[in-house]
Amino acid sequence: MAPSLANLPIETLSLILSQFCLHCTKAHGYDSPDGYFRSFESGEQQHPDQPSWYSRGYRMTLHSMCLVSRRFRSVAQSVLYHEFVPGYGDAWRSTRFSWDGRLASFLRTLVARPDLAALVKRVYVHVYPLRPVKDEEAEATLEAAAAAAVDDYLACFQGMQSLVNIAGVKLVGVVLALLPKLERLSLQTEGPSAYIPARALSELGSLSKSGPLANLNTLDICDRGATLESLHLDLRARGYAPYTDGGDAHPLSETLKAFTVLKHVFLSASMLSNFRGRASYTNYDSVLLTKLLPPNVTSLCLAGDLGKFTPRLGHALRYLAKSVGPRKQFKALQRVRCDAVQATHGLEEMGVREAFAACGVDFCYSTWPLSEPARPMGEETPREALSPTEQPDLPISDDDDDL
């Protein structure tokens, strides 16, 4: 009799199915600090009109195996519930992926099946699953999860009902309270209305010391001022024309000084200021960098073309050089790199290289390939056009017959 998949030992079958789990395979930088961004090493990107690569390549295979037989279901479910990371990487760009009911359905499964809740190792909370959650759906789901000890967590949202996404964010805390073996939590937030309040995070922290989140060892969150060591913010691919051709950009509106351990900074030079808003050099140009950079920065890279406004960047660089030294504002700065195109627009004649040499900072010109944009400008976001054409991650009934 020829060997078949159905006759394989449970251990072998589990090993095979684990190849369809990011948690088990560690594919796509799953364990890296920014593992929720898809690697572009393969040159592939998620196209909006195509099925989600994560759902198609990982989730749907395991879901289909759950429907084959009870034996396959028991093995596939043990792998399927290792992670809840819908929209992982750039899979969120797929408009064929439906976000409706994802979070609430997952929560109902955890309530009904504590054995599956105990299998979950990682949760990735994207903003899109939070948006479709309505107040009525949230209240009904919370009633089903009344046993979860999250009253103090939910109380933190009183008085915030006017903010969007609150219903979905409430569910997040209840989900976390039901996961006794959760090891890693990744929170991607979008604006103040999507933040979990600081008091609510504190309540979740108290759970982690003695309760459901006792095994949590990694928390990824967008506001990582206390731990962020490297910042790469490259917006050259967003389609802004050079300023000399009438282009425009939105400068950074906040300082990076709160990021106390931030050491390596890569920025598009156009983000420093909206130079076109002023006709000539002012004293403000000189302090652009000293007001922006964190105190312990060691390397700075400024990419992109500022055209005729490059000399203003020169003033900021020379003032930065004056602020470097053992008893000055920037004690750790060691290296500064500017885009080679800036040298052709007057920066080389402004004495910037000499100014940095005088304070012991390595300065030179370089070039960098364009970074992959997270979403091309003008592209429709998933919340505007969702069609439920993909199989949702729903629990598999325990009373189905072998097919």
User: What is the pLDDT at residue 256?
Assistant: 80
- Across 275-280, average pLDDT: 50
User: Is 397's pLDDT higher than 60?
Assistant: no
pTM of structure: 0.53
User: Is 128's pLDDT higher than 90?
Assistant: no
User: Is 380's pLDDT higher than 70?
Assistant: no
User: What is the pLDDT at residue 316?
Assistant: 93
- Across 152-175, average pLDDT: 68
**For the segment 93-111, what is each residue's pLDDT rounded down to a tens digit?**
888 888 888 888 888 888 8
- Across 372-401, average pLDDT: 39
Q: For tokens 């930088």, what's the residue?
A: 29
- How confident is the prediction for the chain on average, in pLDDT? 74
**For the segment 342-379, what is each residue's pLDDT rounded down to a tens digit?**
998 889 999 999 999 999 999 999 988 765 433 333 33
User: What is the pLDDT at residue 338?
Assistant: 95
Alpha-carbon distance of 150 to 233, in angstroms, equals 37
User: What is the pLDDT at residue 140?
Assistant: 77
User: What is the pLDDT at residue 18?
Assistant: 93
Higher pLDDT, 399 or 128: 128
**For the segment 295-325, what is each residue's pLDDT rounded down to a tens digit?**
899 999 999 888 888 888 999 999 999 999 9
Highest mean predicted confidence (pLDDT) among 123-132, 155-164, 245-254, 262-271: 262-271
User: Is 335's pLDDT higher than 90?
Assistant: yes
- Across 173-179, average pLDDT: 81
Higher pLDDT, 163 or 139: 139
User: What is the pLDDT at residue 127?
Assistant: 73
CA dihedral 15, 19, 24, 29 (to 10 degrees): 160
User: Is 216's pLDDT higher than 60?
Assistant: yes
3-state secondary structure of 43: coil
User: Is 229's pLDDT higher than 90?
Assistant: no
Least confident of 65-79, 220-234, 261-275: 220-234
- Percentage of the chain surpassing pLDDT 70? 64
User: What is the pLDDT at residue 286?
Assistant: 86
Beta-sheet strand order (sheet of 362-366): 230-233, 264-268, 299-303, 335-339, 362-366
CA-based nearest residue to 211, from 156, 150, 169, 154: 150
User: What is the pLDDT at residue 120?
Assistant: 93
User: Band of the pLDDT at 381, cuts 50, 70, 90?
Assistant: very low
**For the segment 53-81, what is each residue's pLDDT rounded down to a tens digit?**
889 989 999 999 999 999 999 999 999 99
User: Is 384's pLDDT higher than 70?
Assistant: no
Main-chain phi, psi angles of 185, to 5 degrees:
-125, 125
Beta-sheet strand order (sheet of 184-187): 83-84, 122-125, 184-187, 218-221
User: What is the pLDDT at residue 373?
Assistant: 37
User: What is the pLDDT at residue 245?
Assistant: 36
User: Band of the pLDDT at 337, cuts 50, 70, 90?
Assistant: very high
Least confident of 1-10, 21-30, 249-258: 249-258
Segments of 68-215 assigned E as strands: 83-84, 122-125, 184-187
User: Is 328's pLDDT higher than 50?
Assistant: yes
- Those residues whose C-beta lies under 8 Å from the C-beta of residue 156, and which sit 6 or more positions away, are 197, 199, 200, 203
What are the boundaries of each domain within the chain? 5-224, 230-366
Cα angle 70, 72, 73 (rounded to 5 degrees) comes to: 60
Alpha-carbon distance of 242 to 310, in angstroms, equals 11
